[in-house]
């Protein structure tokens, strides 16, 4: 664990400075909010009855976040499109956010082309590539995200502008107070989880230490912490380079809970992480408690981690942010550079060749 308190040693492993980027996430979020205020919205968005968000991986997680936040406060259904084809219900009355940090992700470009063909209202969010070029060609509104980030590290820029646009269009409740609370909490967490806070006073470092050598399984709750659980899993995969899995209450009580029955010796190497909130559904809270009692002897450890804040946005981003720190600290404990994702690059290269 001492490595996490020694910036000289951290820098030797974290060559591209992922920890600094994670620490600066609150600033990125406030920059994203300012950026979104200046988006030039092009057309009349009246008559929009649904939303769709196209995006993969680090550019796609914003879709899950948006769905959870928007569907709790508006009647607009939100569809996350994480593949080549658009569902049939995406039509001209759909506001589509096409999100790709690189602007060159083939699934997103394929779905984007279909959205153009269907006459959907489209807003592109990208730092460049083909998406940027096509947005200009077709005269679409777009958000130009600063270059130089790993897509997953640009979450503030990729997600918050969608929320801001919906606010500006009057399609959801005003977000000002929720955003203010979120930024305040994220700033406080950035200091609490910073490498400067010694391990004994730092929850992120402590959780990373306890996950070392384990397979993390992250459980969130439907309509609340589920997208944060997915983000935790993805960040543990991409930053820490470990297998990780996720699932959602209450659905997991109808299947996955049975899977913790056999292979007890093997499952001691798994750690459960429960993402909790004091306002989760009372039956979900009870389910989490019972699940913990039933499976704790079958896994290495069960961690319970709690959201902060009152607004749903703050709650989800606070627990998500803890996961981002944990994933970087776990990478450092694993002595791997959190930034490169060689397998993703290799796969994209091989696909481009064929
Ligand atoms: C890399 C990352 C990936 C990418 C994904 C899609 O940091 O998070 O999951 O986000 O491969 O690429 P983009 O974001 O360029 O559309």
Q: How confident is the model at residue 44 (pLDDT cuts 50, 70, 90)?
A: confident
- In angstroms, what is the span from residue 344 Cα to ligand 1's centroid? 8
pLDDT score at 354: 83
Cβ density class 144-168: b for 16+ within 10 Å, e for less? ebeeebbbbbbbbbbbbbbbbbbbb
- In angstroms, what is the span from residue 150 Cα to ligand 1's centroid? 7
- What predicted TM-score, i.e. pTM, was given to this entire model? 0.97
With beta carbons less than 8 A apart as the criterion, state whether 126 and 77 touch: no
pLDDT score at 162: 98
Residue 43 has pLDDT above 80, yes or no: no
DSSP code per residue over 43-92: S--TT--EEEEE--HHHHHHHHHHHHHHHTT-S--EEEE-SSS--TT--T
pLDDT in tens, 126-168: 999 999 999 999 999 999 999 999 999 999 999 999 999 999 9
With beta carbons less than 8 A apart as the criterion, state whether 150 and 14 touch: no
- In angstroms, what is the span from residue 15 Cα to ligand 1's centroid? 20
pLDDT score at 176: 96
Task: Name the residue with the closest Cα to ligand 1, atom 15.
Answer: 102
Q: How confident is the model at residue 2 (pLDDT cuts 50, 70, 90)?
A: confident
Q: Which of 37, 38, 254, 349 is catalytic?
A: 254
- CA dist 346 and 342 (Å) reads 6
Residue 254 annotated in active site: yes
Residue 125 φ/ψ, nearest 5 degrees: -130, 115
SS3 string of 254-283?
A: HCHHHHCCCCHHHHCCEEEEEEECCCCCHH
Q: How confident is the model at residue 45 (pLDDT cuts 50, 70, 90)?
A: confident
Residue 281 annotated in active site: no
Q: Which of 23, 181, 238, 280 is catalytic?
A: 238
pLDDT in tens, 194-205: 999 999 999 999
Residue 11 annotated in active site: no
pLDDT score at 292: 97
Residue 263 φ/ψ, nearest 5 degrees: 55, 35
| Residue entry with tokens 């994933």 | 327
* Arithmetic mean of pLDDT over the chain: 96
**What's the mean pLDDT in 265-275?**
97
pLDDT in tens, 217-260: 999 999 999 999 999 999 999 999 999 999 999 999 999 999 99
Task: Name the residue with the closest Cα to ligand 1, atom 5.
Answer: 57
| Residue entry with tokens 């620490």 | 23
Enumerate residues lining ligand 1, CB below 6 A.
56-59, 100-102, 105, 108, 150-152, 238, 341, 344
pLDDT score at 139: 94
Q: What share of the chain is helix, strand, coil (3-state, %, to 5)?
A: 55, 15, 30
Please give the share of the chain, as a percent, with pLDDT higher than 90.
96
Residue 52 has pLDDT above 80, yes or no: yes
Length of the chain: 354
- In angstroms, what is the span from residue 101 Cα to ligand 1's centroid? 7
Strands (E) across the chain are located at 50-54, 78-81, 94-100, 121-126, 141-144, 215-221, 245-249, 270-276, 301-306
pLDDT in tens, 276-304: 999 999 999 999 999 999 999 999 999 99
Residue 317 has pLDDT above 80, yes or no: yes
Residue 85 has pLDDT above 90, yes or no: yes
Question: Sheet holding 78-81: strands in order across?
Answer: 78-81, 50-54, 94-100, 121-126, 141-144
Residue 42 has pLDDT above 90, yes or no: no
pLDDT score at 74: 94
């Amino acid at each position: 664990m001492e490595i996490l308190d020694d910036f000289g040693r951290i820098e030797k492993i974290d060559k591209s400075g992922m920890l600094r980027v994670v620490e600066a996430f609150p600033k990125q979020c406030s920059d994203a909010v300012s950026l979104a205020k200046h988006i030039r919205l092009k057309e009349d968005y009246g008559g929009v009855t649904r939303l769709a968000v196209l995006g993969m991986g680090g550019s796609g997680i914003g879709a899950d976040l948006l769905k959870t936040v928007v569907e709790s406060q508006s009647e607009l259904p939100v569809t996350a499109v994480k593949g080549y084809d658009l569902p049939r219900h995406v039509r001209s009355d759909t506001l589509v956010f096409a999100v790709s940090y690189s602007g060159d992700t083939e699934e997103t470009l394929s779905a984007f082309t279909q959205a153009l063909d269907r006459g959907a209202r489209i807003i592109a969010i990208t730092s460049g590539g083909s998406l940027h070029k096509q947005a200009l060609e077709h005269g679409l509104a777009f958000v130009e995200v600063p270059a130089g980030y790993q897509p997953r590290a640009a979450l503030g820029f990729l997600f918050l502008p969608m929320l801001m646009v919906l606010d500006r269009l009057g399609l959801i409740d005003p977000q000002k107070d929720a955003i203010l609370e979120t930024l305040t909490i994220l700033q406080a967490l950035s200091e609490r989880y910073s490498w400067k806070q010694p391990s004994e006073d730092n929850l992120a470092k402590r959780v990373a230490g306890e996950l070392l050598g384990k397979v993390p399984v992250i459980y969130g709750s439907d309509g609340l912490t589920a997208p944060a659980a997915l983000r935790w899993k993805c960040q543990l995969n991409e930053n820490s380079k470990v297998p990780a899995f996720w699932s959602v209450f209450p659905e997991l009580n109808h299947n996955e809970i049975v899977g913790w029955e056999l292979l007890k010796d093997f499952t001691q190497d798994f750690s459960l992480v429960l993402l909790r909130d004091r306002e989760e559904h009372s039956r979900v809270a009870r389910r989490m408690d019972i699940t913990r009692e039933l499976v704790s002897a079958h896994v290495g450890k069960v961690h319970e981690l709690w959201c902060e804040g009152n607004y749903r946005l703050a709650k989800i981003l606070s627990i998500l942010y803890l996961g981002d720190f944990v994933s970087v600290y776990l990478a450092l404990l694993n002595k791997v550079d959190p930034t490169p994702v060689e397998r993703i690059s290799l796969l994209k290269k091989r696909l481009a060749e064929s």
